[in-house]
Amino acid sequence: MCPQTKPSGIGSRICACAGRQGGTSGMQRKGPLRSVPEREAVEAREVEASGEEPWASSLRLFANGGEGEAADLLRDLAAALGRSAAPLEPRADATATDRETDAGLAFSSLVSKLGEAQGLEGPVFVLAAAHSAHPGTARQAQALLDNLLRVRGCQSVPEFLRGACEGDEGCLAEVMRFLEPELRRETWQHNPSAKYIFCSVLQQVTRPWLSQHLEKVLPPALLLSDDYRVENKILGVKCLHHIIRNVPAADLCQFNRVQVVNHALSLHLYSKEAHLMQILLPCVLDLLPILEKSSLQQSHNPPLVTPSDEVFQLVLTHMEAEPQLSLRRIYARNLPTFVKRFGIQITQHLKRLQQVIVGYLEIADGPEEVARLAILDTLKCTIQHTWPRMTCHLSVLLKALLKMMWDVSTDNSFTPEPVKAELLQRATECLLLLDHSTHGQVKILLQGVYHHCQNDHLKNYLKKVQMEPVEVWPPGKLNKDV
């Protein structure tokens, strides 16, 4: 039902319910029968004389009545006012201001009536959350929420949702039962505030409480991530990441849930939206161990190509041809985590990884040099994990590092000096690691470069490599930072 027509239907139900609970009807009234306009005028004068709000006279009759229809009516009323609340995103509806103002006035008159209602925790909480971002009703929303927490004996919203301790049943199930009709594929776009309330509620419930509500929270998260709007995709991926981090792997592996989540996330790996990719890659990194565990449980034979291999190859392919600086920075920031996850198994990707490292070291990416700093961290992790293979790659890596150090030391652009110093320091650490893993070959190759270098600033960093004593490192020591 459209939000504009919902309140009128509720208004008629309020009058009907109030009449039944008040024990009066048109046939039972004393005095002559009046027409509808006359009855409305009389009722308006009675309300004005009593000094009550127009809503209060009807709500007072059933707020504490405990009848099932009254509870259903309150739920519908809370839903209608929630849909009339200001959404947390801009919209071009010219009548939004008037409608939201009217909803705010109605909401203010309901605060004292709903605060003590029993069995309506879900509708009341959603109503307060929907109006918390509205400047005209934020104070009343906080008052209603505080009153709800007091009635429930909770100290905070997370405790209200999940329970005081493990095993306690909070009100998340009731909140999700009330939100679920607004988060279906056919209805969720009609109430913009519902998705934000869902995301806010989900983020406040963590392990171990979230697992028992997995069947309720997973479908809306998948639905949001499947939308064509980027902002909804971002909300969906954030919700999925929270679920992945706070639900045990065994629960995610049941009923092929992890494969469903992986399919939903893998579609976004081809996106060119930097904001989406920034939250997507950490989410995928947390999902891959669970996905591989599920694959092993099903086949009992380790596959030759794991899901981590497939994702990493795809990321390297995108990095090689990516022209956007924002995406290059995001890919580079997440690359060290991939290398650490692979460990010694990164050797099977070493050839392609080396091409990406060399390509990113050649190109500056602005004053902060985020991409090159992250690539140097990637190279450092790679050397630590694959040091026996570094002799074969020494020539290419040494040339790339020296060329980058020369470009940075002779750079006259607006790059801050601390950033230049950080680049040169991390490149020097990589040279030291290369020297130790190749048994001193870097020192031999740098002798001619050091004597013919005319840049004193660069010579100071090369001297650090020359002065470091030659040492053959055992495997365990290479895994420590220089």
DSSP 79: H
Query: Residue 395 — pLDDT band, cuts 50, 70, 90?
Result: very high
Predicted pLDDT of residue 110? 58
Query: Residue 373 — pLDDT band, cuts 50, 70, 90?
Result: very high
In whole angstroms, what is the distance from residue 13 CA to residue 307 CA?
56
- R_g of the chain, CA atoms, integer Å: 32
Please give the single-letter amino acid code of residue 305.
V
Q: How many helices (H) and strands (E) does the chain have?
A: 24, 0
Residue 472 has pLDDT above 60, yes or no: no
Angle between helical axes of 121-131 and 172-179 (0-180°, round to 10): 70
Query: What percentage of the chain has pLDDT greater than the value 70?
Result: 72
Predicted pLDDT of residue 260? 96
Handedness of CA 153, 155, 160, 164 (dihedral sign): negative
Predicted pLDDT of residue 231? 94
Residue 187 has pLDDT above 90, yes or no: no
CB atoms within 10 A of CB 416: 11
In whole angstroms, what is the distance from residue 111 CA to residue 382 CA?
60
**Mean pLDDT, residues 167-182:** 85
DSSP 87: P
Question: Which residues 6+ apart lie within 8 Å of 181 measured at CB?
Answer: 187
The pair of structure tokens assigned to 154 is: 């909770």
Residue 340 has pLDDT above 90, yes or no: yes
Range in 65-69, 419-423, 444-448, 462-466 the model is least confident about:
65-69
Average pLDDT, the chain: 79
Structure-model confidence comparison of residues 471 and 13, the more confident one: 471
**Mean pLDDT, residues 372-379:** 97
**Mean pLDDT, residues 455-477:** 74
Structure-model confidence comparison of residues 342 and 191, the more confident one: 342
Query: Residue 38 — pLDDT band, cuts 50, 70, 90?
Result: low
Handedness of CA 380, 381, 383, 384 (dihedral sign): positive
Residue 93 has pLDDT above 80, yes or no: no
**265: Cα within 13 Å, side-chain hemisphere:** 28
Structure-token match 């039972």, residue found: 28
258 with 277: CB under 8 angstroms?
A: no
The pair of structure tokens assigned to 387 is: 């040091």
From the list 300, 288, 287, 362, the residue with the least C-alpha distance to 328 is: 362
Q: Which H or E run contains 393?
A: helix 390-409
Q: pLDDT tens-digit profile of 73-88?
A: 666 666 666 565 544 4
Alpha carbon dihedral 380, 381, 385, 390, in 10-degree steps, equals -30
Query: Residue 315 — pLDDT band, cuts 50, 70, 90?
Result: very high
**Mean pLDDT, residues 2-15:** 43
Predicted pLDDT of residue 337? 96
**Mean pLDDT, residues 263-279:** 96
Predicted pLDDT of residue 112? 53
Residue 63 has pLDDT above 50, yes or no: no
Burial classification of residue 197, based on how many CB atoms lie within 10 Å of its CB (0-12 exposed, 13-18 middle, 19 or more buried): buried
CB atoms within 10 A of CB 320: 12
Range in 50-54, 388-392, 398-402 the model is least confident about:
50-54
The pair of structure tokens assigned to 202 is: 């989900």
Is the link from the previous residue into 418 a cis peptide, with omega within 30 of 0? no
DSSP 304: S
Predicted pLDDT of residue 101? 53
Predicted pLDDT of residue 297? 77
CB atoms within 10 A of CB 213: 20
The pair of structure tokens assigned to 48 is: 């004005």
Residue 125 has pLDDT above 90, yes or no: no
DSSP 5: T
387 with 393: CB under 8 angstroms?
A: no
In whole angstroms, what is the distance from residue 224 CA to residue 254 CA?
22
Structure-token match 């469903």, residue found: 260
Say if pTM beats, i.e. exceeds, 0.85: no
